[in-house]
Chain A
Amino acid sequence: MDYSQFGAMLPELIILGIFLLVFLADTFSADGSSKKFLTPFAAVLFLLGTVAIWVVPSCGEAVFGGMYFDDAAGRAMKCILNCGVFICMLQAAKWVESDEMKMRKGEFFELLLVTLFGMYLMISARHFLLFIIGLESASLPIAALVAFNKNRYESHEAAVKYILTAVFSSGILLTGLSFVYAFSGGSLYFSDIAAQITTGEMSGLLLCALAFVLAGIGFKLSLVPFHLWTADVYQGAPTSVTAYLSVVSKGAAAFAFFIIFVQVFGQVYSAAWEWMMYAVIIATITVGNLFAMRQKNMKRFMAFSSVSQAGYIMLGSMAANQLGLASMMFYIFVYVVSNLGAFAVITSIENRTGLVSMDDYKGLHKSNPYMAVAMTLAMFSLAGIPPFAGFFSKILIFTSVTGSNSMALYMLVLIALINTIISLYYYLLVVKAMWISADEPKIAPFRSGTCERLSLGICVLGIVFMGLVSCVYQYCVSSVGESFFLALN
């Protein structure tokens, strides 16, 4: 075995290294006071690692017999996820300092890094075995994160729900893969399977396999009708974990979805899974929106909003080309900063007052104007209002979808556009509560900590400038090479 091949796995090695360092630091700092430095230590280390992953170019060839492939697009995806994780770390800083959490904050960061490691593998795997390893190490530790609030009943309930759905969905996915194995002639390499699937042979087995794989990953993405766990888990989990679940975990699943469906099932794109996704996307966007309208609990609200946003993210897969993938990456990046911007506010408020209902936000602009402004920007960005980044990401993804000039896709975009109006309604409800409601504020003025401000600042900067400067999008486009779509007919 040629050990130099491990050199190609630079991003994974970096994450592994950070994980080990954090783990050692955690182990050797026995008492609470010496654990103080753990948060900045992890965050700074992680930031350096991210920069390294971003700067060092990928080697650009498949290693381990084609099992693992770290290309420029994969690097860009990993960087996007890293941004999300970094912001999540900052947001959690206040929460991990609470009495209950103080001794266990090392675990929090370690679990975070392990799941991220799994997501990296999901993105770079070109063999289903490696993919499953990635998927499992990305989802099982999350259950531990969801259950992190030891003393809260809801947290446990959410964890149980999460782990049951995670295992169940993995089971479905594996069933689908066993079908794939059956007709691929005994290989689980993406390229081998793709070579076996040709447009002419639309067997029932293949259709079953597609449906099962779609369902399996659909659970992770919380696409309708596989979304039922979302609201309960989001509500029960500690808010910092909810934030992580809603952006990073979802983003990784979306990337993996795109890679698998284009590189493995690309040949039967128009024959089979285009219409499957067509239906699923419409259902996801619409159902997510309709349920979000009635939510009063902010975490449930964000859960349904994120279901609907997942539908928009998956629109990128309807344009299975360079623009589609780049728009999807950009959309996820913007979604990361917008959603985490909202969660930064929700977390800060919950950490101080324990209030999470939309009604509690009434009159927020009187007591905490900066929080209200940040939340407003996040809501506008999520709703796709210019000049904020969400507008650009939405338009770019719509543009990529309509590129083939097929009437069916125009209608899909029309449905998505009409849904943006529905989503605007409920995002404005939050704005209304904060700015228009005449009630006296329930939330007393508070000063937020440095980390919280930093995370909020990053999010606000991202929301305001990411669309106005086009370089982020151009980076996404340039990272997606033509070779990515070779399997597509």
Chain B
Amino acid sequence: MFGNILIWFVIIPVLMMAGLGLCRNSGMKAIRAVMVVGSTALLALAIWLCVDFLSLRAAGNDAEMLYTGSWMWYSPLNIHLAVGVDGISVLMLMLSAIIVFAGTFASWKISPLPKNFFLWFALLSTGVFGFFISIDMFTMFMFYEVALIPMYLLIGVWGTGRKEYSAMKLTLMLMGGSAFLMLGLLGIYWHSAPAGGELTWNILEIARNNAVDPSWQGMLFIFTFVGFGVLGAMFPFHTWSPDGHACAPTAVSMLHAGVLMKLGGYGCFRIAIYLLPQAANELAWIFIILTGISVVYGAFSACVQTDLKYINAYSSVSHCGMVLFALLMLNQTAMTGAIMQMLSHGLMTALFFALIGMIYGRTHTRDIRQMGGLMQIMPYLGVCYMIAGFASLGLPGLSGFVAEMTIFVGAWENGDFFHRAFVVAATCSIVITAVYILRVVGKLLLGPVHDDHHRQLTDAGWFERFSTVTLIVSIAGIGCFPNWISETIQQSFQPIVAAIQNAL
């Protein structure tokens, strides 16, 4: 079991938690040491996995999942701890590792109770990594919920503003989503094998059996898609997102918008679409409408906000809506774009939230009306903010462009009026994105200094630079060399697209 590299993605955060358990709240150095060692190990592991995965693929190993392993857990119900990754999961693990790494540095000076903060932070990472390595629905769901609950305390204790309200709202909404999800998973399990066959929670086996009764697929699809969609900030279940993000501490916003919201999108195609392909074909239109609204509505909402975090949170609603929207186009190009959008949005939002945290830490306000000319005062942060903004509005050379371009090209492949109308509407959101990004950049960074007190503020410290550089390099990396990523994703989507095609 421990010979499987994937298991270590869960073991390392658990070890981190154990290490933190031994530290004391006052022992900041020890806490940081544990976190830095742990998150570096995770990043190294992710990079190694990525390289090894690509070389295995290059060597001609075209199994659907690599590094698979399966260990019996609850034998009466055939529940396994089953792991395995395809290209998409590898990239998601990579993304999570980068953001956990950057998040550690972004919360370098967290207080109070640093030990407890990082304990919950590590538990959250355990859930995230566990989710992406699992191919057993039960374990997947377990890790999914493990990733959700730490948010309550992370926001509630270390947040700002109306934190109690936001933490409760976020937790209850996400858990509400997972209640529907659970019911969907149970339904899939009890239909996972043809009559007389052994029921299974294993995603690959269920897809192979393809035995879910068509009369049940519709209901189960709606349950699972809504369940994951809540975390993907799908309209009208997105309302937890702005409040939650606005109140969360920096690293938590980063991890939440950067990785956690991707759990929703990932689950949507890995479980809802892949395992229930017939219903996906029939019912995709419902969710195309909802996600289409998310895309446009999120962008418009971002335009009228004045709080930096709210702007970014609504922008996340728009961008994550784009992810689900692209997945629902049900063709390989658009779905590939969706994953690229996940990566791009994950990195860029994490960067945004990190920068907002740094700016807020200095100016003690997030209201753009009370700031101005920050470029003169803290040029490093200003430039970073601009880069993040450009990535968000899709400047070529950065990750956003690649992702959105792929999505729209893929989405246009659906020839009917309904799809095209929504694609056109979604495309318009790019313009709106430009509006709110440039508005913020103009007000916040350029122009005269608004508040003279801000003149004494310092620019980024080394740990802050470290955290931002990691993210910017990744964003530019995807933007400049998208090919290997899109090929990996495309190849991984083949079985899923084949399942959709067969069900037509």
A420 contacts B142, CB within 8 Å? no
Q: Which of B146, B172, B190 contacts A402 (CB 8 A)?
A: B190
Instruction: Tell me the A residues contacting B by CB distance below 8 Å.
Output: 323, 326, 380, 385-387, 391, 395-396, 398-399, 402-403, 405, 410, 413-414, 417-418, 420-421, 424-425, 428, 431-432, 435-436, 470, 473-474, 477
Q: Is B37 an interface residue (CB 8 A)?
A: no
Among all A-B residue pairs, the 8 with the closest Cβ atoms: A417-B179, A436-B156, A477-B76, A386-B142, A470-B74, A402-B186, A386-B145, A421-B176
- 22 A-B contacts, Cβ less than 8 Å apart? A323-B76, A323-B77, A326-B76, A386-B142, A387-B142, A399-B77, A402-B183, A402-B186, A402-B187, A405-B190, A410-B187, A414-B179, A414-B180, A414-B183, A420-B175, A420-B179, A421-B179, A424-B172, A431-B153, A432-B156, A432-B164, A435-B153
Cα distance, A467 to B138, chains bound together (Å): 13
Tell me which residues across on chain A come within 8 A of B164, comparing CB atoms.
432, 436
Could you tell me the distance in whole angstroms from the C-beta of A258 to the nearest C-beta in chain B? 18
Tell me which residues across on chain A come within 8 A of B74, comparing CB atoms.
396, 470, 473-474
Cα distance, A261 to B157, chains bound together (Å): 48
The bracket for how many chain B residues form the interface is 20 to 34
Known contacts: A386-B145, A473-B74. The answer to whether A421 contacts B175 by CB under 8 A is: yes
Cα distance, A179 to B74, chains bound together (Å): 43
Known contacts: A417-B182, A421-B176, A425-B168. The answer to whether A386 contacts B146 by CB under 8 A is: yes
Cα distance, A428 to B172, chains bound together (Å): 10
Tell me which residues across on chain A come within 8 A of B191, comparing CB atoms.
405
B75 contacts A474, CB within 8 Å? yes
Q: Which of A405, A410, A424 contacts B183 (CB 8 A)?
A: A410
Per-residue CB contact flags for chain B residues 156-191 toward chain A (1 = under 8 Å, else 0) read 110000011001100110011001101100110111
Cα distance, A421 to B148, chains bound together (Å): 13
Cα distance, A414 to B186, chains bound together (Å): 11
Tell me which residues across on chain B come within 8 A of A410, comparing CB atoms.
183, 186-187
| Closest chain A residue to B179, Cβ basis | A417
Cα distance, A395 to B179, chains bound together (Å): 11
Q: Is B149 an interface residue (CB 8 A)?
A: yes
Tell me which residues across on chain A come within 8 A of B186, comparing CB atoms.
398-399, 402, 410, 413
Could you tell me the distance in whole angstroms from the C-beta of A341 to the nearest C-beta in chain B? 17
| Closest chain B residue to A394, Cβ basis | B182
Could you tell me the distance in whole angstroms from the C-beta of B12 to the nearest C-beta in chain A? 16
A435 contacts B172, CB within 8 Å? no
Q: Is B285 an interface residue (CB 8 A)?
A: no
Cα distance, A380 to B187, chains bound together (Å): 25
Tell me which residues across on chain B come within 8 A of A436, comparing CB atoms.
153, 156-157, 163-164, 167
Tell me which residues across on chain A come within 8 A of B463, comparing CB atoms.
none
Q: Is B274 an interface residue (CB 8 A)?
A: no
Q: Is B152 an interface residue (CB 8 A)?
A: yes
Q: Is B73 an interface residue (CB 8 A)?
A: yes
Could you tell me the distance in whole angstroms from the C-beta of A213 to the nearest C-beta in chain B? 30
The SS class assigned to the B binding surface is: helix
A413 contacts B77, CB within 8 Å? no
Tell me which residues across on chain A come within 8 A of B168, comparing CB atoms.
425, 428, 432
Could you tell me the distance in whole angstroms from the C-beta of B356 to the nearest C-beta in chain A? 23
Q: Which of B76, B143, B156, B182 contacts A474 (CB 8 A)?
A: B76
Cα distance, A398 to B189, chains bound together (Å): 12
| Closest chain B residue to A387, Cβ basis | B146
Could you tell me the distance in whole angstroms from the C-beta of B136 to the nearest C-beta in chain A? 13
Could you tell me the distance in whole angstroms from the C-beta of B495 to the nearest C-beta in chain A? 27
Per-residue CB contact flags for chain B residues 406-445 toward chain A (1 = under 8 Å, else 0) read 0000000000000000000000000000000000000000
Instruction: Tell me the B residues contacting A by CB distance below 8 Å.
Output: 73-77, 79, 138, 141-143, 145-146, 149, 152-153, 156-157, 163-164, 167-168, 171-172, 175-176, 179-180, 182-183, 186-187, 189-191
Could you tell me the distance in whole angstroms from the C-beta of B74 to the nearest C-beta in chain A? 5
Cα distance, A477 to B75, chains bound together (Å): 10
| Closest chain B residue to A470, Cβ basis | B74
Could you tell me the distance in whole angstroms from the C-beta of B153 to the nearest C-beta in chain A? 6
Could you tell me the distance in whole angstroms from the C-beta of B266 to the nearest C-beta in chain A? 18
Cα distance, A435 to B141, chains bound together (Å): 27
A424 contacts B171, CB within 8 Å? yes
Known contacts: A402-B186, A431-B152, A435-B157. The answer to whether A424 contacts B175 by CB under 8 A is: yes
Cα distance, A380 to B123, chains bound together (Å): 14
| Closest chain A residue to B79, Cβ basis | A470
| Closest chain B residue to A380, Cβ basis | B149
Cα distance, A399 to B141, chains bound together (Å): 13
| Closest chain A residue to B74, Cβ basis | A470
Cα distance, A402 to B180, chains bound together (Å): 14
Tell me which residues across on chain A come within 8 A of B171, comparing CB atoms.
424, 428
| Closest chain B residue to A398, Cβ basis | B186
Cα distance, A474 to B142, chains bound together (Å): 19
A403 contacts B142, CB within 8 Å? no
Task: Give the interface centre of B167, B176, B180 by most chain A CB atoms within 10 Å.
Answer: B176
Cα distance, A12 to B76, chains bound together (Å): 31
Could you tell me the distance in whole angstroms from the C-beta of A368 to the nearest C-beta in chain B? 14
Could you tell me the distance in whole angstroms from the C-beta of A52 to the nearest C-beta in chain B? 27
Tell me which residues across on chain B come within 8 A of A402, comparing CB atoms.
183, 186-187, 190
Could you tell me the distance in whole angstroms from the C-beta of B247 to the nearest C-beta in chain A? 12
Beyond the given A385-B149, A391-B145, A432-B168, please list 6 additional residue pairs across the A-B interface where CB-CB is below 8 A: A391-B142, A395-B182, A398-B186, A403-B190, A410-B187, A436-B156
Tell me which residues across on chain B come within 8 A of A425, comparing CB atoms.
168, 172
Tell me which residues across on chain A come within 8 A of B176, comparing CB atoms.
418, 421
Tell me which residues across on chain B come within 8 A of A470, comparing CB atoms.
73-75, 79
Could you tell me the distance in whole angstroms from the C-beta of B469 to the nearest C-beta in chain A? 34
Could you tell me the distance in whole angstroms from the C-beta of A429 to the nearest C-beta in chain B? 9
Cα distance, A403 to B167, chains bound together (Å): 35
Tell me which residues across on chain A come within 8 A of B189, comparing CB atoms.
399
| Closest chain A residue to B181, Cβ basis | A417
Cα distance, A403 to B182, chains bound together (Å): 14
A435 contacts B187, CB within 8 Å? no
Cα distance, A470 to B74, chains bound together (Å): 6
Cα distance, A307 to B19, chains bound together (Å): 39
Tell me which residues across on chain A come within 8 A of B163, comparing CB atoms.
436
A418 contacts B179, CB within 8 Å? yes
Cα distance, A398 to B141, chains bound together (Å): 14
Q: Which of A380, A399, A421 contacts B172 (CB 8 A)?
A: A421
Tell me which residues across on chain B come within 8 A of A380, comparing CB atoms.
149
A413 contacts B152, CB within 8 Å? no
Cα distance, A135 to B335, chains bound together (Å): 62
Tell me which residues across on chain B come within 8 A of A424, comparing CB atoms.
171-172, 175
Could you tell me the distance in whole angstroms from the C-beta of A385 to the nearest C-beta in chain B? 5
Could you tell me the distance in whole angstroms from the C-beta of A308 to the nearest C-beta in chain B? 15
Tell me which residues across on chain B come within 8 A of A431, comparing CB atoms.
152-153
Could you tell me the distance in whole angstroms from the C-beta of A450 to the nearest C-beta in chain B? 23
| Closest chain B residue to A407, Cβ basis | B219
Q: Which of B79, B145, B156, B183 contacts A435 (CB 8 A)?
A: B156
Tell me which residues across on chain A come within 8 A of B172, comparing CB atoms.
421, 424-425
Tell me which residues across on chain B come within 8 A of A403, comparing CB atoms.
190
Could you tell me the distance in whole angstroms from the C-beta of A465 to the nearest C-beta in chain B? 13
Cα distance, A425 to B169, chains bound together (Å): 9
